[in-house]
Amino acid sequence: MDDMTSGDIQESGVSSAEGASQSISAGDGPPKMTTRNVNVFYGEKQAIDNVSIDVNMDNVTAFIGPSGCGKSTFLRCLNRMNDTIPIAKVTGDITLEGEDIYAPQMDVVQLRARVGMVFQKPNPFPKSIYDNIAYGPRIHGLASGKDELDHIVETSLQRAGLWNEVKDRLQDSGTALSGGQQQRLCIARAIAVDPEVILMDEPCSALDPIATAKIEELIHEIRGKYAIVIVTHNMQQAARVSQRTAFFHLGTLVEYGVTTDIFTNPTEERTRDYITGRYG
């Protein structure tokens, strides 16, 4: 993976030009991931403009904003999934536990194992449920034997709240599950490599309300064990699952703060307009 873009490292700890109203702090405790002055370009087009945010272990962080505001793009910077798009270029400073993830010596393979991701549409591999979960531990060599692998599969499925539903049919294809189960399978798959951060890109947008409720419950369950960042277009969901909320608009970070504050007492005009449904 040596052909991947490494971002320009900028000496900066200053908040964005958006103004003093915007806090970048993630709250109590040391930040798990920090981002400073991040810009993303797709060819000539700038998709993200100077965003700085911190993420920590205790909180679920939600990114909200109208579609096309860059929240998913920004999320994909956090585990360098933008590398798979040849024209994408990321500048700025993103760290995980103090390490610059765009530094040349950073290993993308390790990074992505540490920063897992769950996608908008459930994307189980066309393999058995067991093999879907075992895939990550196998490629990373996390299990020394069959027993250990079985154990990882079981605990991951338990954490994802899927164990009781699938324990009798682990050899069935992962694609045969319902949409909500598929998405929980994908979360279990991410959990199985023992990540530190889990990125969720609109994980419920393809699901029905009951399946959505299960995923939200699951997010509550695993909060604190992993730093969780969730992108959502659903403001109620952000209010329900997150402790911190960042509002993006047109590629810029408008406001970042404690979720209840954002929803009850936003400092920015644009945030208020969005939350009250003036646009979106």
Partner 1 sequence: MNNQATSKIDPTPTDWSGDVMQRRIKQRYAAERRFKALGLGAILLSASFLLFLLVVMVGNGFRGFTQTELPVEIDFPALTNGAQPAQFEGPDAESRIRSLGVQDIVNGSIEIQYGNDGTDLFSAGAWTSVQSAILKNPSVLIEKTTFYLPVESELDVAYKGSGNPEVEKKITELGDQLSTGFNGNFMGNSDATDPMQVGIWGALKGSLITMFITLALAFPIGVAAALYLEEYAPKNRYTDLIEVSINNLAAVPSIIFGLLGLAVFLNIFGLPRSAALVGGLTLALMTMPVIVISGRNAVKSVPPSIREAALGIGASPIQVVFHHVLPLALPGILTGTIIGMARALGETAPLLMIGMRAFIAKPPDGITDPSTVLPVQIFLWSDEVNRGFVEKTSAAIIVLLVFLLTMNAVAIYLRNRFETRW
Partner 2 sequence: MSSTALLVLVFGLGGVAWFFGRIKASGFVTGGTRGEVHSLPSYHGWYVALWAAIPAAVFLLVWNIVSPALITDAALTSPTAQQLPTDSFTRGSILAEARSIASGNQEKAFNPLSQAMVEPYRTAITYYQTLGMAAAILLVFACGAFAWLKVKPNLRARTKVERVTMIALLLASLIAIITTIGIFISLIFESARFFSMVSPIDFLFGTEWNPKAVAGPRGETGFGAIPLFWGTVFIGAIIAMLVAIPLGLMSAIYLTQYAPAQFRAWMKPILEVLAGIPTVVYGYFAALTVAPALRDLAVSIGISSASSESALAAGVVMGIMIIPFVSSMADDSIAAVPSAMRDGSLAMGATKSETIKKVLIPAALPGVVGGVLLAVSRAIGETMIVVMAAGLAANMTANPFSSVTTVTTQIVKLLTGDQEFDSPKTLAAFALGLVLFIVTLLLNLIALRVVKKYREAYE
Residues that bind partner 2 (CB under 8 A): 1, 79, 81, 84, 108-114, 116-117, 119, 121, 123-127, 135-136, 139-140, 186, 189-190, 193
Q: Which is nearer to partner 2, 2 or 44 (CB)?
A: 2
Cα separation, 207 vs 232, in Å, equals 13
Q: Which is nearer to partner 2, 121 or 270 (CB)?
A: 121
The Cβ-side half-sphere exposure at 136, using a 13 Å CA radius, reads 25
Near partner 1 by CB under 8 A: residue from 161, 174, 180, 251: 161
Give min distance, CB of 125 to partner 2, in A.
5
CA geometry: angle 62, 64, 69, nearest 5 deg: 135
Give min distance, CB of 73 to partner 2, in A.
14
Q: Which does 126 bind (CB under 5 to 8 A by kind): partner 2, partner 1, none?
A: partner 2
Q: Which is nearer to partner 2, 171 or 276 (CB)?
A: 171
197 binds partner 1 (CB under 8 A): no
140 binds partner 1 (CB under 8 A): yes
CA geometry: angle 38, 69, 260, nearest 5 deg: 90
- For tokens 């979106």, the residue is 280
Q: Which does 93 bind (CB under 5 to 8 A by kind): partner 2, partner 1, none?
A: none
Q: Is 261 helix (H, G, I), strand (E, B) or coil?
A: helix
Q: Which of residues 95-124 bind partner 1 (CB under 8 A)?
A: 107, 109-110, 113-114
251 binds partner 1 (CB under 8 A): no
Q: Which is nearer to partner 1, 75 or 152 (CB)?
A: 152
Near partner 1 by CB under 8 A: residue from 221, 260, 265, 276: 221
- For tokens 């646009």, the residue is 279
Cα separation, 270 vs 75, in Å, equals 21
Cα separation, 30 vs 54, in Å, equals 9
Q: Which does 186 bind (CB under 5 to 8 A by kind): partner 1, partner 2, none?
A: partner 2
32 binds partner 1 (CB under 8 A): no
Closest CA to 61 of 33, 99, 98, 92: 33
Distances (CA, A) of 142 to 90, 134, 152: 31, 10, 9
Query: What phi and psi values does residue 236 have, to the nearest 5 degrees?
Result: -60, -40
Give min distance, CB of 107 to partner 2, in A.
9
What do you get for the CA distance between the two ends of the chain, in Å?
Answer: 38
Q: Which is nearer to partner 2, 29 or 126 (CB)?
A: 126
**Which residues are registered as beta bridge partners of 227?**
197
Cα separation, 256 vs 76, in Å, equals 18
Residues near partner 1, by CB under 8 A: 1, 107, 109-110, 113-114, 139-142, 155, 158-159, 161, 163-164, 193-194, 196, 217-218, 221, 225
